[in-house]
Amino acid sequence: MARLFGTDGVRGLANGVLTADLALGLAQATAVVLGQGRSAEARRAEGKRPVGVVARDPRVSGDFLAAAVSAGLASSGVDVLDAGVITTPAAAFLVQDIDADFGVMISASHNPAPDNGIKIFAHGGTKLPDIVEERIEEHLEAEQLMPTGADVGRIRRFADAEDRYLIHLLGSLPHTLDGLRVVIDCANGAAAGVSPQVFSDAGARVSVVGNDPDGININDGVGSTHIDNLARTVVELGADVGIAHDGDADRCLAVDANGTIVDGDQIMAILAVSMKERGKLVDDTLVATVMSNLGLRRAMDEHGISTLQTKVGDRYVLESMNENGYSLGGEQSGHVIMSEFATTGDGILTGLHLVSEMARTGKSLAELASVMTVYPQVMINVKDVDKTRAHSDESVLQAVAAAEGELGESGRVLLRPSGTEQLVRVMVEAADHDTAGRIADHLAGIVRSSLSIV
């Protein structure tokens, strides 16, 4: 059986790859594997059933997939709390907040509406390690002894789910947002309800775009993957800042008053400096991936902050943060994790704290973002090559060494084999875009000629 779980749950075309049968089976397997945890066993000792939270984003396929997941859990003896349409980080928070045994989020994040996905959170609202995902996949094909009669689970509406999350977000803020004009792009997704509300409750004057979800327009020309519309709106309205979410609001990108995009690296730089000043940055360390811009590391060095790099993927950032107790980490894409308040990337939380820093310091977003100089970055995907030899082929290694010698301290080179495709990503950063492009083109040619499988 091919591996079902990818880097962030099970994802694919709804009713194509991701069917109701698969969703039901995954839920039943999840109930078996995660229903054996200490919290679930403690409930059984008290004569209670395990508890699972189920939530979804507003894409149209979420209805039948959430119904299938809820049915699978209840038929396995799990009591289901149906939180309806909420964000992925809200679902993770609720699992932790009510001490549920696990949670299931139905969302394909930034993907287009025809896709959907199933993300599973363990007790405490944390993402699953690979070994637990493998156990769930193994149980998909195993015979299950199902409860009957009064032992089956119940499905109930989680009536105050959004209120709990909103109160939690407001309680995290170090400063109100009074006087600031904020435009929020909800990507026609799960943030449409709570994000404008919480920014308004925090004191901001709020305008909203991408807040009319109809089940099929999620991420369609709006949100963090299509940020130009937000940039135009911020400038037209004379707003102080724009905040862009993706479909399930685990990402946050920003736009300053001039319409300039502020990415995840810049947001992390701003938050890291602020948290250090306020004694909130554990061990004065920021966790980022190898894809984060060289300028981020340089800026952190200048402020006495260490940068710990991980493999690409917020799950690896989380693993490092959890292992070492660090308080801030994330990715250039806008997945930012503030572990004091969240167990996963939370776009609304990130946006609130970013705007709160503007209010606290009285500085514009452009001023705050100037803490970091963004180095021009060029990436080329070289297809149809033997990616397994990317870090061992002598010609490639010599070319990389020569490029690194030319760049010196003013840039860097990264060759990254794709985890899902037969290609190698060549990334070059340099002090100017022309140099980065020239070196990236040269290296891509060497990779193509040396590793070709066509």
- Architecture of the domain made up of 164-369: 3-Layer(aba) Sandwich (3.40)
Mean pLDDT of the chain: 93
Q: Domain 377-451, what fold?
A: TATA-Binding Protein (3.30.310)
Q: Report which residue type is found at 1.
A: M
Q: What is the pLDDT of residues 351-363, one digit of tens each?
A: 999 999 999 999 9
Check if the beta carbon of residue 53 is closer than 8 Å to that of residue 165.
no
Check if the beta carbon of residue 34 is closer than 8 Å to that of residue 101.
yes
Distance CA 336, CA 282 (A): 15
DSSP state of 61: T
Distance CA 380, CA 423 (A): 10
Is the confidence at residue 305, as pLDDT, over 90? yes
Mean pLDDT of 414-428: 84
Mean pLDDT of 204-215: 97
The two domains 10-159 and 164-369 share their CATH topology (first three levels equal): yes
CATH code, 10-159: 3.40.120.10
Distance CA 319, CA 161 (A): 27
Residue 129 pLDDT: 87
Query: What DSSP letter does each residue of 119-147 carry, written as one string?
Result: EEE-TTSPBPPHHHHHHHHHHHTS-----
DSSP state of 192: G
More confident residue, 41 or 244: 244
Active-site annotation holds for 109: yes
Mean pLDDT of 130-134: 91
The ranges assigned to domains in the chain are 10-159, 164-369, 377-451
Whats the size of the chain, residue-wise? Answer: 454
Q: What is the pLDDT of residues 145-176, one digit of tens each?
A: 899 999 999 999 999 999 999 999 999 999 99
Q: What is the pLDDT of residues 263-296, one digit of tens each?
A: 999 999 999 999 999 999 999 999 999 889 999 9
Query: What DSSP letter does each residue of 274-290 carry, written as one string?
Result: HHHHTT-SGGGEEEEET
* Burial class for 280, CB neighbours closer than 10 Å (0-12, 13-18, 19+): middle
Q: Which residues contact 387 (CB under 8 A, 6 or more apart)?
A: 417, 418, 422, 423, 424, 451
Q: Which residues contact 331 (CB under 8 A, 6 or more apart)?
A: 264, 288, 289, 291, 292, 312, 313, 314, 317, 345
Residue 2 pLDDT: 63
- Report which of 311, 252, 264, 319 is spatially closest to residue 88, judged by C-alpha positions: 252
Residue 6 pLDDT: 82
Annotation: binding site for Mg(2+): 109, 246, 248, 250
- Which of 109, 195, 224, 274 is catalytic? The answer is 109
pTM score of the predicted model: 0.91
